[in-house]
Chains A and B, each alone.
Chain A
Amino acid sequence: MSDGAYRLGDTEVTDEFAEAFPMRYARVVITAATDAWALEAARSMTGFATSVIGCKCEAAIERPLDAGETPDGRPGIAVLLFAMDSEGVGERILERVGQSVMTCPTSACFDGLPDGEKRVAVGSALRYFGDGFQASKVVAGERFWRIPVMEGEFLCCESVGVDTGVAGGNLVFLGADDAHALVAAQAAADAMRGPGIALPFPGGIVRSGSKVGSLRSSSIPATTNHRMAPTLRAQVDDSFVPDGVGAVFEIVIDGVSEAAVRECMRRGLHAAADAGALQVTAANFGGDLGPFHFPLSELRDPP
């Protein structure tokens, strides 16, 4: 083991670090008549939003909200959506609120980031769906649009705030076989979700970690991370998969701040160790690309 590596129980923690980048994000609060409908809208809105490369944004449910926490007193879900710049956040939010929230029975849409440094249009653009029949109301200084729909009215905040967050934090979990590795990754994902955190991949977990570029073609932007693919460890020279490891999973973390990402990683690391991961490591690009570094060596203390 190198200097920064350590063990947590039976789990080896490597002397690696996750490398992350600033990204812009917005928080949308979706409410509905029931938890279930709020969840439907949120799932739809955060679907196909796993990586900014392939989906133009990364989005996930941040957390469910009690009726007492939402502007209209109904159950709700907070969603975080990340993109490269605030224009991108605006475009994606508009598409997704328009297609996934407005369309969902009983839903309403609110701004979860009222103090964001920038604002992007939501209701003020979606209102045109009202074809001139839309109306607005200002409540406590904030404007809302009432868009008439077949069910009744879709209520949507005029705009949402946008702030700068941190995207690309990650943990990589290695296990003896696929089942054990997944148990560890799932335990980690469950521990990692929370305020300020989005885990954009399905269930929070990605099994097809990628590398930049291709060994064979210059036209493919990303290809499989062959060094972490256990089936290839016998045929590539530079495999990272140690002896005894049968499967690898990764969790990618987008958070509202560096601290949120760090604490999220700490929770995940310790949960994975408790769940029997053989090894936990992190992915980076050598450290020169992202301004945020999260060395696993700093996460040794439990949350």
Chain B
Amino acid sequence: MTLTLTALTSPPARVDLSPLVPETTRGRSAIEVAGTAIRCGRDRVGVGELFAVSGYGTDELVLRGELGRIDRIGAGMRGGRLRVEGSCGDHVGARMTGGEIVIDGDAGAFAGAELRGGLVRIEGSAGASAGAGYPGTRAGMSGGEIVIAGDAGQEAGAAMRRGLVAIGGRAGDGAGLRMLAGTVIALRGVGAEAGMGNKRGSIVSGRPLRPLPGYARAVRYRPPALALQLRRLRELGLEVPDAMLTGAWTRWAGDRLELSRGEILIFDEEEVAAG
């Protein structure tokens, strides 16, 4: 049976679960895993004090129960599969380099922060700074894919250098802040001040918006690369309307405060109707 951790209680302080990833639990028994020390607030506790552990470690690891105060699930993970049955705390999949994390519910802040590779899939919504760089970081996410079926909070994909943050719902304010490159797609649109300080990244909004003054409208066209990316989103389980695949998008270039080589692509059917 797959190694499964079920939260017993809500922990007294936030927990750093990053020591438990398929790579470290593979081949270990439930008893061994229960004895692993993890950080809870300023203290170290055994996994068994917070979780009921069952099964045997393989390439897959399952977490269950109330996980809202469990942070850094799968952080730094390099391979394997981690499934969160429910919602989880902050920093899930942060800096992971490979493998797959699936969260059935919502994720807290900094989901997939500074991702290097692999896939983080959030069936619910994500908090602020999904796929973002941590404060002080010049280059944040450098690879991999984050798929959020619901909405994302503020500053999704901030400082990212490569990779994809795909949001089925809406992105909060400041999406793609200080992006170096990479792609943030929000099928139901992005909030205010998207792409501030963006150097070469792409921000894709499935709803009309008025970009910051640092952006200039270029053209309405059918971006061939976006078609590829949207098809990829379908593979990843997001519902992309056919109209977005075949239709035209308006390209805004910016941020002129930086290189003016980034872009915001906007799917604005209204403009079609007006034109």
By a beta-carbon cutoff of 8 Å, the part of chain A in contact with chain B is 71-73, 108, 133, 135, 137-140, 144, 146, 152-155
Contact = CB atoms under 8 A, between A and B. Distances in A.
A152 B222 contact: yes
A140 B147 CA distance: 13
Nearest to A154: B224
Given A133-B261, A152-B223, 9 more contacts: A108-B224, A135-B181, A139-B164, A140-B235, A146-B223, A152-B224, A153-B224, A154-B224, A155-B224
B225 interface: yes
Interface string B226-241: 0111011001000000
Contact size range, B: 20 to 34
A108 B227 CA distance: 12
Contacts of A146: 223-225
A139 B228 contact: yes
Main secondary structure of the interface of B (DSSP, over half): mixed
Main secondary structure of the interface of A (DSSP, over half): strand
A155 B162 CA distance: 18
A137 B245 contact: no
Given A135-B200, A152-B221, A152-B223, A144 B162 contact: no
B245 to A, nearest CB: 7
B228 A137 contact: yes
Contacts of A152: 219, 221-224
A140 B221 contact: no
B205 interface: no
B202 A72 contact: no
Interface string B159-176: 000111000000000000
Interface string B25-39: 000000000000000
Contacts of B227: 72-73
Contacts of A73: 227, 231, 245
Given A135-B200, A138-B162, A138-B163, A72 B228 contact: yes
A155 B261 contact: no
Contacts of B154: none
15 contacts: A72-B224, A133-B261, A137-B225, A137-B228, A138-B162, A138-B163, A138-B164, A139-B229, A144-B225, A144-B228, A146-B225, A152-B221, A153-B221, A154-B224, A155-B224
